[in-house]
């Protein structure tokens, strides 16, 4: 009678016929009344004992089967996880010293430092915890109890440590502590570099009560190192808008290197009046302008007159004596600046050089007046002085264009 072999889960694996050998798997199953079965059985025991030790995976595995990969570079125990494929079982070493023989993926519980490490083919890398007696540098996440907190509340603090020495801390302490400062416990490794306490945010080692770490020599370097040149200013306070006093505006003595700050007694700001006192000797742009309320949105260079539903508008009258001026784009001096915006209250040039929309033939020096085309100027002669916008600084042969005009 043949044997029916079932797996642990009850599914049928194979039927072993009488007086025969079944090789469905890597083990050989012996049929009833097979002569010489002893060697086959013993061979199966050997395969199991050595976990099919070979440099190649067994060709007929079943789920759960073990295989020791005897390759020189591997030497790992593997398990068939799906009935066809194998994956390795990591070696775990528990000892106080580095294992002598390791392969990629091996785990080592370093019992002397209390850390789990993994071998990357060159050395063991720390998995965790990040802090240990052999740690060279790490961000350490932990809790601290402030020595000035009678409630013994635990505060989460991130410490940047070199060896076992904290160089920088990151904390969110809230407002419960005195001066929002955590004073380290005598047993904490913060006590040496943070005797003045840990503050909300980021605190460098050796910071004093004013937030300066100058005495300890710890700084933020890079572009921010330029702030060292202004270290004499210990604290900045905001002036109240009701403060009726003069605040002097500083200047740097050089464009590069260590700076000295200078002030001028005639250059200052008064918060109560919002006025900056200074003497202007030069301007970037070329005209003096003032805001006027317009009945529409007008682009720079448009010629406007006094009238319309608001203060200024355009006209179709030649040489209109109601002329107000030309809409300025970049005034050098802006009067009535808070009256509105460029859309509702455009700046109108009262004096100086400004681009102007014009039509027709124009030569330099021509008098410019309003034209019959709304918003445009035109050259004219023998006109009333009240109708003159300005004098042409450019030329135009015909049609429409934009030239610079000297507003008079």
Q: Are residues 213 and 267 in the same domain?
A: no
Report the 10 Å Cβ neighbour count for 111.
12
| Model confidence at 233: pLDDT above 60 | no
Determine the pLDDT at residue 382.
84
Q: Are residues 206 and 266 in the same domain?
A: no
Q: Are residues 215 and 260 in the same domain?
A: no
pLDDT tens for 323-367 read 999 999 999 989 999 999 999 999 999 999 999 999 999 999 999
Q: Are residues 402 and 291 in the same domain?
A: yes
Structural domain contains residue 73:
no
Q: Are residues 190 and 100 in the same domain?
A: no
Structural domain contains residue 58:
no
Q: Are residues 383 and 308 in the same domain?
A: yes
Q: Are residues 206 and 313 in the same domain?
A: no
- CATH number of the domain bearing residue 316: 2.40.300.10
Q: Are residues 191 and 215 in the same domain?
A: yes
Distances (CA, A) of 333 to 145, 225, 281, 313, 344: 61, 38, 12, 22, 19
Q: What is the pTM of this model?
A: 0.41
Q: Are residues 402 and 292 in the same domain?
A: yes
pLDDT tens for 271-322 read 887 777 777 667 778 899 999 999 999 999 999 999 999 999 999 999 999 9
Structural domain contains residue 282:
no
Structural domain contains residue 230:
no
pLDDT tens for 46-97 read 999 999 999 999 999 999 999 999 998 778 899 999 999 999 887 888 999 9
Give the torsion sign (CA, 300, 304, 310, 316).
negative
Number of domains in the chain: 5
Q: In 3D, which of 89, 54, 85 has the Cα closest to residue 72?
A: 54
pLDDT tens for 189-230 read 999 999 999 999 999 999 988 888 888 889 887 766 555 555
Percent of the chain at pLDDT exceeding 90: 59
Query: Could you give the 3-state DSSP secondary structure of residue 23?
Result: coil
Tokens of 288: 């003096």
Percent of the chain at pLDDT exceeding 70: 93
3-state secondary structure labels for all residues of 87-133: EEECCEEEECCCCCCCCCCCEEEECCCCEEEEECCCCEEEEECCCCC
Structural domain contains residue 171:
yes
Determine the pLDDT at residue 238.
66
Q: In 3D, which of 292, 405, 377 has the Cα closest to residue 342?
A: 292
Structural domain contains residue 87:
no
Structural domain contains residue 320:
yes
Q: Are residues 352 and 396 in the same domain?
A: yes
Q: Are residues 119 and 19 in the same domain?
A: no
> What domain range includes position 118?
92-128
Continuous segment of H or E residues that includes residue 288: strand 287-291
């Amino acid at each position: 009678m043949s044997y029916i072999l079932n797996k642990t889960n009850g599914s049928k694996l194979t039927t072993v016929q009488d007086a025969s050998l079944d090789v469905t798997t890597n083990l050989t199953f012996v049929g009833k009344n097979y002569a010489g079965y002893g060697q086959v059985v013993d061979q199966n025991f050997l395969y199991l004992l050595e976990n099919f030790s070979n440099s190649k995976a067994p060709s007929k595995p079943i789920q759960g089967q073990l295989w020791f990969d005897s390759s020189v570079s591997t030497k790992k125990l593997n398990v068939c996880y799906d009935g066809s494929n194998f994956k390795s079982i990591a070696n775990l070493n528990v000892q106080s010293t580095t294992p002598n023989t390791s392969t990629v993926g091996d785990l080592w519980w370093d019992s002397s430092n209390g850390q789990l490490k993994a071998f990357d083919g060159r050395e063991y890398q720390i998995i965790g915890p990040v802090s240990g007696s052999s740690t060279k540098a790490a961000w350490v996440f932990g809790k601290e109890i402030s020595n000035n907190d009678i409630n013994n509340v635990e505060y989460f603090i991130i410490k940047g440590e070199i060896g076992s020495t904290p160089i920088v801390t990151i904390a969110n302490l809230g407002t419960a502590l005195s001066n929002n400062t955590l004073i380290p416990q005598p047993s904490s490794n913060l006590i040496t570099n943070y005797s003045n306490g840990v503050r909300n945010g980021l605190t460098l080692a050796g910071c004093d009560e004013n937030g300066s770490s100058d005495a300890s020599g710890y700084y933020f370097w890079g572009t921010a190192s330029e702030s060292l040149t202004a270290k004499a200013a210990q604290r900045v306070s905001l002036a109240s808008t009701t403060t009726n006093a003069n605040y002097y505006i500083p200047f740097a003595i050089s464009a590069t290197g260590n700076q000295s700050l200078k002030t001028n007694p005639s250059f200052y700001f008064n918060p109560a009046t919002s006025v900056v006192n200074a003497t202007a000797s030069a301007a970037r742009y070329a005209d003096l302008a003032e805001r006027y309320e317009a009945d529409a949105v007008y682009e720079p260079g448009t010629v406007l007159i006094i009238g319309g539903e608001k203060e200024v508008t355009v006209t179709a009258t030649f040489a209109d004596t109601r002329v107000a001026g030309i809409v300025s784009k970049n005034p050098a001096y802006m009067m009535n600046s808070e009256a509105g915006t460029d859309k509702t209250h455009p700046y109108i040039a009262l004096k100086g050089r400004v681009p102007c929309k014009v039509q027709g033939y124009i030569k330099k020096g021509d008098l410019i007046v309003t034209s019959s085309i709304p918003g445009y100027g035109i050259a004219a002669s023998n006109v009333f002085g009240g109708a003159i916008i300005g004098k042409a600084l450019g030329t135009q042969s015909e049609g429409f264009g934009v030239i610079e005009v000297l507003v008079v």
